[in-house]
Structure formats: structure tokens, C-alpha cells
């Protein structure tokens, strides 16, 4: 079964259609390359698949699940809770001075009489009843609308893609450059080995969890060959190392699919060869790889399949050899031959 299915995906920016009804799928365990001339819509497609920018239409399915979060029971409960909470808040606040007057001031009278909680409660309830249900209704509607809106915009977020198991790197490297190399990986680590209380109080669970996390982070750094740099600021690394660190950070979340956006950009041929090895090793860990790449030796060297985009449209798909001989692909890269 396909791990990632992209179906008739369209992304528009104003009048410009950057990705036009593109469909393809990536099978588990494959390395698939997405190629095409500059401006073909490759990064836009990545952004849609990782929910960085929403698609205008079309569907992305990952491991059988829609990238858009479904309206779950928990989400509905949150909306309901928000409606009730805001409704109650508005009902209480709409005439809080009057409420205070009848429940506290009138019933206490500067200590002249004992304050009976139950009595005050009844007075407050009577007062709230007398206000009529409108504040609560309006507040509840606003709360529900706000919570629904929050859910609607939140159902398609990078975090959702990541939690489904899609990790990515960025074309223009986006590391946490003031943090140390190992902290970058630690931020990306999946799992929550300890809670906030353990962290605030340095409970043994914090120490155990932190040690385990650091071991995993160091393993990942060793995997991409950066263990020597664990404690330097990420922003100080050379360019090629930063790309590797991004890969390590992406792998830290135990993804099933890794999206690499031009991992070999700015690398020399030797580094490119190392990168091919690294991508193969990533696949060997059981991670499926989808990459955007311009270096044809990288693409041809490792891809199981290649998808070619041009002007937002998929023009070819197949194994590297077939694609490289496809006249439409050659035309897209070299321009139409004058007959």
C-alpha cells in the first residue's frame, strides 16, 4: 500500500497556480525524487504535504489517514467546553457589579452580618437568571465559533503532519541557530519521557528521561556524522553540516516519511557522494524518503522512482532511466528543440 498519496493537489497564490492537479504516490521503503526546473512548484508541493501552506484543493493521504485532522470526539468536546466556558464567563461578566452587589455587598454589609455562602449563591443564581439567557447564548456562540475556527485552522498544521509521521528539511535551512547542535536534535525528539513537574523539581524521572534523550540524540548525531560538534551553536556550523543537522533533527521524531528539500544544494561532489550514502542509510532504517534535488547524479544514483514537475504540472513519472529519456522531460529542462 502506498505510504503517501497525493491526489489532484492544487495550490494557488492569488491568480498564480503553483501546483496544478498533481497526483503521485510514494510506497513504503522507496526513495522517490521530485525534480523539475526552478519554479516548477516542487517546494510548494512539499509545503502542502507538510501542511506549511494549505492546498487550495485536492487531497493528501498518509498511511491511509487524511492530512486534514478529522473532527474527532476530543475536538468536539473542546468546542463544547469552550462554548460553555465563554458563555458562562459572559453571563457572569455582563453585569458583574450587580452580581457582586447582591451576592457579596448586600449579604455582608461590612461585617454587620455573617456571610452565608449558600444564601449568596442563591442570590447570585437569581441575579443571573434575571439577566435572561442572552449574554450566555451570545457568549456561547462566540466561544463555539472561535473554538471551531481554531480547530478548522489547526487541523492542517505542520505539527499534524509531523505527528502523522512526516518529517522534513527546508530549502533555506531553518535551524535553531542559537541553540547547540545537540539541542536542535533534542527539540525534535519524539516522546515525552517526563512531565513538567519532574522538570521543575529535577525529579529522578527528569534525570533518567534527559539521559535517555541525550543518548538517542547523540546516536542520531553520530548517524549523520556530527557527534563531534554536539555542543557548538548550530548557527556556527558549515553549510553542509547544517543540512545534515536538519536531517538529524527531522529523524529525531521517528518519522515514516522524510522529505528532503534540496539536501545536496551547495555541496561539492565528494559531499554529494556522502549524502547519497546517508540517504541510503536512512532508508535502511526503515524511513521512506521523498526528495527534491537538482544534482542529477544524486537523483539517478539513489532514486527508485522519479516524479517530474514543470510549471506546476506533473509531466513524467517512472524509474530514473525511463524518465531521463522522456522527451517531455528533456524539453522541460533544455527547452523545445528547433525542428
Q: Which residues are at the interface with other proteins (CB under 8 A)? A: 43, 47, 50, 52-53, 89, 96-97, 100-101, 104-105, 107-108, 110-111, 115, 120, 146, 154, 157-159, 161-163, 167-168, 170, 174-180, 182-183, 186-190, 192, 194, 196, 199-202, 206-207, 209-211, 213-214, 231-233, 249-250, 252-253
Rank residues 200 and 334 by Cβ distance to other proteins and give the closer one.
200
Rank residues 250 and 291 by Cβ distance to other proteins and give the closer one.
250
Rank residues 246 and 310 by Cβ distance to other proteins and give the closer one.
246
Question: Strand 16-27 to strand 2-13: parallel, antiparallel, or no bridges (unpaired)?
Answer: antiparallel
Least distance to other proteins from the beta carbon of 161, Å?
8
Cell of 180: 547547540
Q: Give every strand in the sheet of 16-27, ordered side by side.
A: 16-27, 2-13, 57-62, 65-66
CA separation for the pair 212, 215 (Å, rounded): 5
Least distance to other proteins from the beta carbon of 336, Å?
31
CA nearest neighbour of 173 among 267, 254, 255: 267
Rank residues 258 and 329 by Cβ distance to other proteins and give the closer one.
258
Least distance to other proteins from the beta carbon of 183, Å?
6
Q: Say whether 263 sits in a helix, a strand or coil.
A: coil
Cα dihedral 66, 68, 72, 74, rounded to 10, equals 130
CA separation for the pair 64, 101 (Å, rounded): 58
Chain centroid to Cα 86, Å, comes to: 29
Least distance to other proteins from the beta carbon of 115, Å?
3
Least distance to other proteins from the beta carbon of 10, Å?
17
Rank residues 186 and 226 by Cβ distance to other proteins and give the closer one.
186
Rank residues 100 and 134 by Cβ distance to other proteins and give the closer one.
100
CA nearest neighbour of 63 among 153, 188, 168, 166: 166
Least distance to other proteins from the beta carbon of 13, Å?
8
Counts for the chain of helices (H) and strands (E), in that order: 15, 10
Cell of 310: 514543470
Distances (CA, A) of 259 to 171, 240, 253: 11, 17, 13
Q: Say whether 104 sits in a helix, a strand or coil.
A: helix
CB 29 within 8 A of CB 280: no
Least distance to other proteins from the beta carbon of 182, Å?
7
Q: Find where cell 542559537 sits.
A: 178
Rank residues 37 and 235 by Cβ distance to other proteins and give the closer one.
235
Rank residues 190 and 315 by Cβ distance to other proteins and give the closer one.
190
Number of other residues whose CB lies within 10 A of the CB of residue 217: 24
Least distance to other proteins from the beta carbon of 202, Å?
5
Amino acid at each position: 500500500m502506498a505510504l503517501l498519496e497525493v491526489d489532484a493537489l492544487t495550490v494557488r497564490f492569488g491568480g498564480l497556480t503553483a501546483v496544478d492537479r498533481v497526483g503521485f504516490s510514494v510506497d513504503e521503503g522507496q526513495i522517490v525524487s521530485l525534480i523539475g526546473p526552478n519554479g516548477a512548484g516542487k517546494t510548494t508541493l512539499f509545503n502542502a504535504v507538510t501542511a506549511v501552506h494549505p492546498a487550495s484543493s485536492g487531497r493528501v493521504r498518509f498511511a491511509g489517514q487524511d492530512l486534514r485532522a478529522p473532527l474527532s470526539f476530543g475536538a468536539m468536546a473542546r468546542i463544547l467546553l469552550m462554548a460553555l466556558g465563554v458563555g458562562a464567563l459572559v453571563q457572569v461578566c455582563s453585569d458583574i457589579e450587580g452580581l457582586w452587589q447582591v451576592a457579596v455587598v448586600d449579604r455582608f454589609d461590612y461585617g454587620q452580618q455573617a456571610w452565608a455562602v449558600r444564601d449568596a449563591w442563591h442570590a447570585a443564581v437569581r441575579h443571573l437568571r434575571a439577566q435572561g439567557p442572552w449574554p450566555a447564548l451570545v457568549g456561547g456562540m462566540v466561544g463555539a465559533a472561535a473554538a471551531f475556527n481554531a480547530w478548522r485552522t489547526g487541523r492542517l498544521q505542520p505539527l499534524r503532519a509531523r505527528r502523522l509521521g512526516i518529517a522534513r528539511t527546508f530549502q533555506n535551512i531553518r535551524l535553531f541557530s542559537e541553540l547547540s547542535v545537540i539541542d536542535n536534535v533534542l527539540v525534535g525528539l519524539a516522546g515525552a519521557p517526563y512531565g513538567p513537574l519532574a522538570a521543575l523539581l529535577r525529579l529522578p524521572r527528569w534525570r533518567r528521561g534527559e539521559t535517555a534523550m541525550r543518548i538517542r540524540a547523540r546516536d542520531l548525531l553520530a548517524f549523520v556524522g556530527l557527534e563531534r560538534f554536539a555542543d557548538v551553536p548550530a548557527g556556527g556550523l558549515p553549510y553542509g553540516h547544517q543540512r545534515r543537522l536538519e536531517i538529524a533533527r527531522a529523524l529525531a521524531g521517528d518519522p515514516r516519511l522524510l522529505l528532503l528539500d534540496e539536501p545536496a544544494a551547495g555541496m561539492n561532489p565528494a559531499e554529494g557522494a556522502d549524502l547519497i550514502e546517508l540517504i541510503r542509510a536512512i532508508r535502511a532504517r526503515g524511513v521512506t524518503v521523498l526528495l527534491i534535488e537538482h544534482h542529477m547524479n544524486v537523483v539517478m544514483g539513489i532514486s527508485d522512482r522519479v516524479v517530474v514537475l514543470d510549471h506546476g504540472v506533473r509531466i513524467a513519472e517512472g524509474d530514473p532511466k525511463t524518465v531521463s529519456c522522456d522527451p517531455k522531460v528533456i524539453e522541460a529542462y533544455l527547452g523545445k528543440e528547433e525542428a
